[in-house]
Amino acid sequence: MLTAMTPERVVDLRPRTIVRVIVIAVAVAVALEIVWISRHVLSWVAIAVFLALALDPLVSWIERRGRIKRGPAIAITYVIAIIVIAAIGATFIPKLIDEFNGFVQALPNYVHDLTHGRGRLGFLERKYHVVEKVREQVQDGGATKVLGLSGAALSITKSIITIIAATVTIVFLTFFMLLEGRDWVERGYSLLPEESQPRWRRVGGEIYGTIGGYVTGNIVISLIAGASITVVLLIMGVPYAVALGLIVAFLDLIPLAGATVAGIIVSLVAFLHSVPAGIVVVVFFVVYQQIENHFLQPVIYGRTVQLSPLAVLVSVLVGAELAGILGALAAIPVAGSLQVVVRDLLAHRRPAPAGGPPPP
């Protein structure tokens, strides 16, 4: 039985189309290369955006209450932030210095116990012969091989300069974003068709609420975590309680994994102090994680981000893979913003009921 032969289809591409595709591909490659080269600056911009969103409610409140222009309101906000930071520094830095000095003074005893296989760290010498291995490395390659000191001074200097430049840049970026951000947003809305501007203004307002609520809420939760673990460590007599509390507050800013890493670090230090202190710290972290996950986060994030736990986990993992810690920090507000946009698009794609008004 013969079957009819299907005719061959020939696609004729015009040279203009081929050139256009090549130009687009080259433009995309150049854009990605530019983004990769300027990734550090883009990360500073992202941090400035989050800080501006976190400070904007306070700036707006001062602007309304004081009936002053936005520039002086931003200056007052900066003064308040500097006073708060200075107060925290005056409260904690002397304690940190004392604890660091105590650690330095106790370090020779730790080294003595380690080299003689005694104390809580003695097992490193008894089982793994750490001291002998370090001596062998020193004899073979010197301190440079053991500690990786080649170029260390230059690397540290570059890191300090980068941190200073990043801090100054972020401060000024945040200031100008607070000062001109609304004007830029209005210019963006003005480019849209007039009939669609109310819709996208509403979407922009929801995104602003999502990101601002997340930034503020994350800071509040981290402060609660750091303060509570500091109190527990002080009660149990664990040394370096304030420093460890600050580490917990910083790491707790990272969703999901940050609190776990902080718990492991603090628990190890507590066990080095005493076994009961370590057990109490472990129990505290387990209980606190339940309170934070089932009470603090739903209360603080419930009316802003509104993401399911699965969406939070996936977004944090993807963000961490793409941009490390900064990506993990930005993952939840970005996912919440995408959720707002997708929800709006789905609402406007649904057919309106017969004779009824269009979707809001």
Residues 231 and 273 in one domain: yes
Q: Could you tell me if 295 and 229 lie in one domain? A: yes
Cβ count near 273 (within 10 Å): 17
Considering the domain boundaries, does residue 77 fall inside one?
Answer: yes
Residue 214 located in a structural domain: yes
Alpha helices (runs of H) in the chain, residue ranges in sequence order = 15-37, 39-66, 70-115, 123-128, 130-147, 152-190, 197-236, 241-251, 257-273, 275-291, 297-301, 309-349
- Residue 255 sits in the same domain as residue 267: yes
Name the token pair of 142. 């010197």
Gap between the Cα atoms of 75 and 358, Å rounded: 44
> Do 316 and 255 contact (CB within 8 A), yes or no?
yes
The verdict on 51 and 119 lying in the same domain is yes
User: Same domain for 63 and 148?
Assistant: yes
| Residue 273 and residue 239 in contact, taking contact as beta carbons nearer than 8 Å | yes
Domain boundary among 168, 191, 214: 191
Is 360 a member of any domain? no
Residue where a domain terminates, one of 158, 191, 224: 191
In a domain, 353, yes or no: no
Q: Which of 7, 6, 42, 31 is nearest to 323 (CA)?
A: 42
Both 133 and 213 in one domain: the answer is no
Find the domain containing 45 and state its range.
38-191
Q: Give the pLDDT score at 143.
A: 47
* Residues 219, 166 share a domain: no
184 plus 231 within the same structural domain: no
Contact 45, 52 (CB under 8 A): no
Whether 355 maps to a domain, the answer reads no
Nearest to 173 by CA among 48, 38, 77, 41: 48
Do 186 and 226 have their domain in common?
Answer: no
Round to whole Å and give the CA distance between 242 and 238. 10
Query: What local confidence, expressed as pLDDT, does residue 5 receive?
Result: 59
pLDDT along the chain (360 residues), means of 10: 59 77 90 85 83 83 86 89 78 68 63 61 59 60 50 68 84 88 84 85 84 80 89 87 84 76 86 86 88 74 68 77 74 83 81 53
In sequence order, which residues have a C-beta less than 8 Å from that of residue 198 and are 6 or more positions away? none
Residue 5 falls within a domain, yes or no? no
User: 0.75 exceeded by the pTM?
Assistant: no
Residues 149 and 46 in one domain: yes
pLDDT for the residue 20: 86
The answer to whether residue 231 is domain-embedded is yes
Placement of tokens 């993952």 in the chain: 331
d(CA 135, CA 337): 55
Q: Is residue 20 part of a domain?
A: no
Same domain for 183 and 242, yes or no, is no
Q: Give the end-to-end CA distance of the chain in Å, rounded to a whole number.
A: 61
- Number of structural domains the chain divides into: 2
- What tokens were used for 343? 């929800």
- Of 322, 40, 330, the C-alpha closest to 163 is 40
Domain endpoint, select from 136, 166, 191: 191
- How far are the Cα atoms of 46, 221, 302 from residue 79, in angstroms, in the given order? 23, 24, 31
Q: Which two tokens stand for residue 338?
A: 């995408």
pLDDT digits (tens, 9 = 90+) for 170-200: 888 888 888 888 888 888 888 888 888 888 8
pLDDT of residue 123: 59
Helix axis angle, 309-349 to 257-273, nearest 10°: 160
Q: What pLDDT does 283 receive?
A: 92
The pLDDT of residue 312 is: 74
Contact 81, 55 (CB under 8 A): yes
If asked whether residues 185 and 222 sit together in one domain, one would say no
